[in-house]
């Protein structure tokens, strides 16, 4: 199958241009974050920062509530992921290894919930949480995030569990160990990559979430980091674009790292799609 040389070269060129166009916004964000104000507000922009400065990063971090809101986000995300993972693992196990009445209904529920537009539920969740004094508290947001993380985790984990051959499980049982023992010694190591991938996806979804955080958390000290960033511009005087871009860069870093971690699994399945905004 010898392909002719020229077309590949041509396609490569197209590929490189595509890469440049797609990545440009990210590049521009980072580049702006390191520029001096003079360069940022010049009518003739420079591509790279002439004298890279950390000034904007300092401004962003020094803005009120940055660390508080990072802490809030970490708390919300970690607890959501932990609870979602434990609960959904068992449900996924049931889906992957057993047939039972109501299974179909359960699958419809799991997939259906993922399809609900979050905005459609903002109002009732808000009013209900308000009745139980859970508005403007992280616990309220965690509950809401669980509704969306759980179905997604069940579905993803199910995919990983199906891949495990039944014989392995049975082999472990023959050894005379209990089912739980079999689970711990044989299943767990096999599922570990799946658990990691799932939790990373759940992590990213919760980290990026915006509408519920904005609606449910009203004061600076209880907000999450995406809400912090979205309020960045209405700030005093005019917009400090350098600092906004520095803040944006900081917020993206954990997500980028985690994404790279599970990058290979992304191609695995459609499930990853749930990570989209």
Interactions with other proteins, residue window 139-158 (CB under 8 A) = 139-140, 142-144, 146-147, 150-151, 154, 158
Closest distance of CB 51 from other proteins, Å: 18
270 lies in the site for other proteins, by CB under 8 A: yes
238 lies in the site for other proteins, by CB under 8 A: yes
What is the Cα–Cα distance from 55 to 62, expressed in whole angstroms? Answer: 11
Stretch that binds other proteins, among 55-63, 168-176, 186-194, 265-273 (CB under 8 A): 265-273
Q: How many CB atoms lie within 10 A of CB 35?
A: 24
Closest distance of CB 186 from other proteins, Å: 16
Instruction: Report how many residues bind other proteins under the rule CB under 8 A.
Output: 134
Q: Which is nearer to other proteins, 79 or 190 (CB)?
A: 79
From residue 19, alpha-carbon distances to 23, 103, 255, 257 in Å are 6, 44, 20, 19
226 lies in the site for other proteins, by CB under 8 A: yes
Phi, psi of 159 (to 5 degrees): -60, -40
Burial 53-87 (b: 16+ CB within 10 A, else e): bebbbebbeebebbeebbebbeebbebbbebbbee
Structural contact between residues 36 and 50, judged by C-beta atoms closer than 8 angstroms: yes
263 lies in the site for other proteins, by CB under 8 A: yes
Q: Exactly one of 60, 135, 186, 197 binds other proteins (CB under 8 A); which one? A: 135
Closest distance of CB 184 from other proteins, Å: 11
Q: Exactly one of 108, 168, 171, 192 binds other proteins (CB under 8 A); which one? A: 108
Structural contact between residues 247 and 235, judged by C-beta atoms closer than 8 angstroms: no
Tell how far CA 179 is from the center of its chain. Answer: 33
Interactions with other proteins, residue window 15-54 (CB under 8 A) = 15-16, 18-19, 22-23, 25-26, 28-29, 32, 40-45
What is the Cα–Cα distance from 61 to 65, expressed in whole angstroms? Answer: 9
Q: Is 145 helix (H, G, I), strand (E, B) or coil?
A: helix
Structural contact between residues 194 and 160, judged by C-beta atoms closer than 8 angstroms: yes
Q: Which is nearer to other proteins, 192 or 233 (CB)?
A: 233
Stretch that binds other proteins, among 55-63, 168-176, 188-196, 247-255 (CB under 8 A): 247-255
Closest distance of CB 192 from other proteins, Å: 17
Q: Which is nearer to other proteins, 53 or 126 (CB)?
A: 126
């Amino acid at each position: 199958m010898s392909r002719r040389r020229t077309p590949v070269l041509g396609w490569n060129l197209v590929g490189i241009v595509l890469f440049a166009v797609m990545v440009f916004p990210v590049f521009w964000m980072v580049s702006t974050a390191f520029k001096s104000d003079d360069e940022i507000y010049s009518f003739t922009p420079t591509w790279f920062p002439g004298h890279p400065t950390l000034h904007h990063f300092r401004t962003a971090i020094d803005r009120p509530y940055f660390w508080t809101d990072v802490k809030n986000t970490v708390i919300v995300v970690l607890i959501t992921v932990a609870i979602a993972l434990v609960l959904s693992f068992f449900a996924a196990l049931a889906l992957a290894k057993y047939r039972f009445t109501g299974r179909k209904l359960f699958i419809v529920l799991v997939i259906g919930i993922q399809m609900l537009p979050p905005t459609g539920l903002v109002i009732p969740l808000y009013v209900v949480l308000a009745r139980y004094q859970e508005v403007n508290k992280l616990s309220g947001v965690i509950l809401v995030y669980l509704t969306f993380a759980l179905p997604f985790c069940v579905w993803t984990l199910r995919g990983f569990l199906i891949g495990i051959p039944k014989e392995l499980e049975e082999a472990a049982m023959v050894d005379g160990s209990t089912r739980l023992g079999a689970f711990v010694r044989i299943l767990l190591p096999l599922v570990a990559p799946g658990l990691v991938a799932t939790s990373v996806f759940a992590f990213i979804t919760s980290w990026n979430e915006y509408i519920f955080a904005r609606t449910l958390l009203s004061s600076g000290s209880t907000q999450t980091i995406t809400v912090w960033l979205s309020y960045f511009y209405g700030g005093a005087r005019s917009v400090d674009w350098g600092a906004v871009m520095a803040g944006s860069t900081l917020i993206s870093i954990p997500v980028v790292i985690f994404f790279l971690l599970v990058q290979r699994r992304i191609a695995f399945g459609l499930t990853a799609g749930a990570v989209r905004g």
